[in-house]
Amino acid sequence: MVLSVNSVSVSLGRSRIVNDIDCYLRAGELLMLLGPNGAGKSTLLKAISGDLPYVGSVRFAGRELGQWRPEWLARQRAVMPQRVEVNFPLTVEEVVRLGRPKTASVGSDPVVDQLMSELDIGHLRHRLVPALSGGEQQRLQLARVLAQIIDSPGDRLLLLDECTSALDPAHQQMVLELVHRLAKNQGIAVLAVVHDLNLAAQFADRLLVMKAGCLVHEGSAREVLTPDLLEAVYGFTARVIELDEGYPMVVPRRGGLPNAYLAPGNPSCRQAS
Amino acid sequence: MIFRVVAWFLLATVFVSSAQAGDPPRVVTADGAITEIVYRLGLESLLVGVDTTSGYPEQTESLPKVGYLRALPFEGVLALKPDLLITSEQAAPEENLDRLARAGVQVEKLPSAWTPKAALERIESVGRLLGSEERAVRLASDLRSKINRIQQASSARGSEPKVLFILAAGNHSVMLAGEGTAAAALLDSIDAVNAVSGIQGYKPANREAILASQPDAIVIAESTSGQFEIRSWPEVERLDAWQNGRRLVADSMMLLGFGPRLPDAMAAVNEVLPAPSNVAANDS
Amino acid sequence: MIRDAAGRLGFAPSLAIVISAAVIVALVSITSGAYPLSVADILSVITSREASDPVASMVLLEVRMPRLLLGFLVGAVLAVSGALLQGLFRNPLADPGLIGVSAGASLAAIAVIVLGNTWLGGWLAMTGEWALPIAAFFGGSCTVLLAWRIANRFGQTSVATLLLAGIAINAVAGAATGLLTFYANDEELRSLTFWTMGSLGHAGWDDLLVGAPFMLLALFVAPWLARPLDAFLLGESVVGHLGYRTDTVKKAAILVVGLGVGAAVAVSGLIGFVGLVVPHLVRQLLGASHRVVLPLSALVGGTLLVAADSLARVVVAPAELPIGLMMALIGGPFFLALLLRTKVI
């Protein structure tokens, strides 16, 4: 098991944002985390990244997160945050190289070149980051994150928080195909927070659904993406079409928002499950 | 190390002897009162530079200014190639004075003169340093007799009038003179006392303290003429001493410099002090 | 071609340019001053042991040389400190002066001057001639820490809060300094004038001896922080993801800034704007990577301060302008221009 998360809870101030979550991830598995805004997805991801204090246990490659030396962990596990804002005039190549091990800092680095061309930012390599578009910056951050672990031996884990939110459809497809390929060919375990249900259906091996800080459902796309569950979790009605490609597609209905959205009650784990 | 000390020593003697040999010495003064003394002795032709506190007499304007007495630059002074730097205890920084001495400049720090006696001694010291001791002694004894006359008059008063001493430095900045100041020393020299007590040095004026001081006379020292505006200080204007004309507004360098204008300062202040009967009336 | 692929001046050519500029400025500085020294005089002092003119040798070896070296070190340290703070705070407006570090350091130093023979007598007895730099170091470090705490209260660095905190810290330190001034006697006041104006006018080998170890230590530790500081430019959490110990890096940077600025303030008083102007210029020309910014800021900062000091001692000769005043004249308008050009802070 690359990642095992046992009874993890996170509290910010007095409120509990993530409540008693268990999950696990195998090598080469692409796990996607779904759920409405405020469900606690990003918070859970931050806890697993070690950015937030948590109760419970997060084990990576069999070892508790806190027991890893930071510099070793950085070679095996990479984290892409939801937003990375760069205000200083660094170039694209400089930022990607930040992900590389310290020794590989002189001369050209084939891994960096390869990643930049695969993420379609090779032509931007000497451009200044603050001047890039949002989508270009997102691809750049993914390149930096992948540069950290792509040539490391042993168990590897990739944590992605909405890594396609600023991309056009073609680039969304390109990025997730790359991630999918790396998972399958290189055995990298991927945990990704996503909002696009159809992208999740297309690429995920397994889906986790969170609501109000709790894990409410887990399974394949076909098991999870049902009209009933969508209504229970997101509160909207949708049609689910089984595609020839072998995965379902979610088509929201117009006017399908229930009253719950106009007057949201106090959400709790039990209600949702 | 020893070699260097010897070298500096030789250098210093060379300079001193060259000064004595023929050419008149080149002198820099850094202290307003000392500069005044040099002018009073008629030796201003020796001066090659003064500091920024030297603003009297007006002829000082044409001399190079080496900066503020308390931040004397080493190279700036040295560039004037002086044989002698006469300054007071206030001079700083110590490092630069030390270096000037080692570069062969004779550095003389005269003690601050806050009594008439010390002021006269300082005049004699300056004269001795410039090789005009006789002239200096004559000036000193001349001033001494003036001072004695003033002091006889003031001690004949038989009482110690209270004086409010104000220093006007900036536009709205007005300081009260407390203990341990040249102002207190000036009052002391003519048997007057400070109307405010419990202040050390010059401290920003407290308007209520001015009203409470109930002085017999008011002295205001301005660093530039016309600086003190009585309209901004109704408390001062309301004081009996001001209303009765027992007030003096004068140049601060004259009043507080303890230079050759000391008798003028003493006389001017003494003049506005009340006669004995008035003091008694005020006390009752 | 001297420009790199990004259209910026490459590291090696810019290093060459800056070093030549530093050498030229050093030569100008060593040959200019109120006391006239010709190049021939200088050569004769350098080549012959037994100088023909002992005064020339003294002006050169005991005044201009230590002043040149001290000026260069102070400029380098202030510029590097500025670069470190800007990286740490991810903001180009952070500066040891603006966020109050210099004020904190000078407050501590002034406290030692004024209270040295009363409340702080024990401190003086304990530390001897190191009393000022060590006190200034503590003052500086505590202020960086304070500014950091205030600006990071809600988990992310707020620039507005940082600058406001700087104003508040400067105000409090200024008030405390004023209070000390109020109680200072005449002789102590004399020393204080020098602190608030910033000056190299008294610089000698003994100042260098006291200040240089701290400043050199700061300058040599700083390059170790270059890579993690680059990571800081992407955000504080990214630093940890990339395998650096965020807290260690932060503490090291704060320590280096406190050490460097403390020592600089101890030997030369308050000199502003070097830390703001220099790293900004370097970044504009050469990019933001700290492996470039830190060494070049040091060189440019040192050169700039030496140039400003040379100017300060000739413009009103035989008197001297305080170097702090000179830098404020250069840096103030620059800062304003920077503010106007920065759209969002």
Task: Give the minimum alpha-carbon distance from A77 to chain C in angstroms, rounded to a whole number.
Answer: 8
Subunits in contact with chain A (3 or more CB pairs closer than 8 Å): C
Q: With contacts defined as CB-CB under 8 Å, which chain C residues touch A91?
A: 6, 287
Angle at C220 between CA C219 and CA C225, to 5 degrees: 90
Considering only CB atoms, C194 lies closest to which of B52, B73, B93, namely: B93
- Domain boundaries, given as residue ranges, for chain A: 3-220
Q: Using the 8-state DSSP alphabet, how is residue B231 labeled?
A: G
Q: Give the pLDDT band (50/70/90) at residue A157.
A: very high
Q: What is the pLDDT of residue B111?
A: 92
pLDDT at C243 over 80: yes
Write down the pTM of the prediction. 0.85
**Residues B230-271: pLDDT tens digits?**
888 888 998 999 999 999 999 999 999 999 999 999 999 999
Which class would CATH give B160-283?
Answer: alpha beta
Task: Report yes or no: A39 and A212 within 8 Å, Cβ to Cβ.
Answer: yes
pLDDT, chain B, mean: 86
First-last CA distance in chain B: 72
Whether B219 contacts B254, CB under 8 Å: no
- Residues A5 and A48: beta-carbon distance below 8 Å: yes
Q: Do C319 and B74 touch (CB under 8 A)?
A: no
Query: What is the Cα B21 distance to its own chain's centre?
Result: 33
Alpha-carbon distance of A213 to A38, in angstroms, equals: 8
Residues of C with CB below 8 A from B65's CB? 318-319
Delimit the domains of chain B by residue range. Answer: 2-110, 160-283
Q: How confident is residue A272, by pLDDT bands cut at 50, 70 and 90?
A: very low
* DSSP category for residue C222: G
B78 touches chain C (CB under 8 A): yes
CB of A201 closer than 8 Å to CB of A248? yes
Q: Which two tokens stand for residue C86?
A: 């800007």
- B200 contact residues in C (CB cutoff 8 A): 185
Mean pLDDT of chain A: 90
More confident residue, A51 or C133: A51
Residues C197, C186: Cα–Cα separation, whole Å? 17
Chain A residues close to C5, C-beta within 8 Å: 125-126
Asked if the ipTM is above 0.85, the reply is yes
Select from C5, C233, C245 the Cβ nearest to the Cβ of A88: C233
Grouping H, G, I as helix, E, B as strand and the rest as coil, residue C337 is: helix
Closest chain A CA to residue C92: A88
Query: Is B79 in contact with C201 (Cβ distance < 8 A)?
Result: no
In chain C, what percentage of residues exceed pLDDT 90?
30
Whole-number Å distance between alpha carbons of B222 and C141: 43
Alpha helices in A132-226 (DSSP H): 134-149, 169-186, 197-203, 221-224
Q: Tell if the CB–CB gap between B103 and C59 is shorter than 8 Å.
A: yes
- B77 residue type, one letter: V
> How near does any CA of chain B get to the CA of C54, in Å?
8
Q: Using an 8 Å Cβ cutoff, are B175 and B166 in contact?
A: yes
In percent, the amount of chain A with pLDDT more than 70 equals: 93
Which strands, in side-by-side order, build the sheet including A55-60? A15-25, A3-12, A55-60, A63-64
| Residue of chain C with shortest Cα separation from B48 | C318
Looking at chain A, which residue has its C-alpha nearest residue C292? Answer: A90
CA–CA gap between residue C114 and residue C132 (Å, rounded): 12
CATH superfamily of B2-110: Nitrogenase molybdenum iron protein domain (3.40.50.1980)
Q: How far apart are CA A77 and CA A61, in angstroms?
A: 10
User: Six-digit token pair at A203?
Assistant: 């690429």
Task: Report the alpha-carbon distance of residue C191 to residue C110 in Å, rounded.
Answer: 9
What are the residues whose beta carbons fall under 8 Å from the beta carbon of B108, sequence distance 6 or more?
B84, B85, B86, B87, B125, B129
Mutation pick from C50, C180, C190 vs chain B, by most beta carbons of B within 10 Å, is: C190
Distance from C-alpha of A127 to C-alpha of A109, rounded to nearest angstrom: 18
**A106 contact C CB<8A:** no
Reference A4, options A119, A157, A121; nearest CA is A157
* Chains A and B: 3 or more CB pairs within 8 Å of each other: no
| C82 CB burial (10 A radius; 0-12, 13-18, 19+) | buried
C35 touches chain B (CB under 8 A): yes
Question: Of the candidates C4, C90, C243, which has its C-beta nearest A74's C-beta?
Answer: C243
Task: Report strand pairing: A157-161 vs A77-80.
Answer: parallel
Residue of C nearest to A79 (CA): C241
Residues of C in contact with B95 (CB under 8 A): 202, 204
Q: Which of A139-153, B88-102, B140-154 has the lowest mean pLDDT?
A: B88-102
Task: Work out the minimum CA distance from C55 to partner chain A, whole angstroms.
Answer: 50
Give the H/E segment covering residue A58.
Answer: strand A55-60
**Closest Cα to residue C60, out of C51, C301, A42?**
C51
What H or E segment, with its residue span, contains residue C285?
Answer: helix C274-286
Kindly tell me the burial class for residue B206, based on how many C-beta atoms sit within 10 Å of its own C-beta (0-12, 13-18, 19 or more).
Answer: middle
Q: Please tell me what DSSP assigns to residue C64.
A: I
B18 vs C297: which has the higher pLDDT: C297
Chain A contact present for C240, CB below 8 A: yes
Options 3.40.1350.10, 3.40.50.11540, 1.10.3470.10, 3.60.21.10; CATH for C11-341 is 1.10.3470.10
Nearest to B102 among C58, C193, C317 (CB): C58
Flag whether residue A85 sits within 8 Å of chain C, measured between CB atoms.
yes
Q: What is the pLDDT of residues C55-105, one digit of tens each?
A: 888 888 888 999 999 999 999 999 999 999 999 888 887 888 877 888 898
Report yes or no on chains C and B touching (3+ CB pairs under 8 A).
yes
Q: What dotted CATH number matches A3-220?
A: 3.40.50.300
Q: How confident is the model at residue B17 (pLDDT cuts 50, 70, 90)?
A: very low
State how far residue C215 is from chain B, nearest Cα, in angstroms: 22
Q: What SS3 class is residue B173? A: coil
Cα distances (Å, whole numbers) of residue A68 to A46, A62, A65, A77:
16, 11, 6, 11
